[in-house]
Structure 1
């Protein structure tokens, strides 16, 4: 990605495989943050606009984390009320 993204744009950081919203961008570095998460720095060259499915997947993961939902181990079967 060559063009400087606007704050609020949603990008995929190819180096870390994380999706985040642009907080700021300066030169070759962009600061990204997931909703409710800590910001991280990424090289602009490693970033690209997130697809709609990547953006949605990131939001669902954040919502699930807020509810304490895990994937895989510890998951209950449908209809289980224990």
Structure 2
């Protein structure tokens, strides 16, 4: 892993935000703030990739006819409750 220094321009808004985070004592320097932000971005990207995978899986299931239809919201609720009971 490289520790090469990078120079970035974040603009006045984020510069003030970084300063607030450092002044609050939560972070020691701008690098820590940026790393925390990058960790959150990475986590969000992983969640997004998983959601996209699940959507694609659902689309495949629908295309293959692997789904359940419900006449009413109550029928759907009953189905969900029954599935929850069997998962315990």
In terms of fraction of residues, the more helix-rich structure is: 2
User: TM-score, normalization: structure 2?
Assistant: 0.25
Look at both structures and tell me which one has the larger radius of gyration over its CA atoms. Answer: 2
User: TM-score, normalization: structure 1?
Assistant: 0.27
In terms of fraction of residues, the more strand-rich structure is: 1
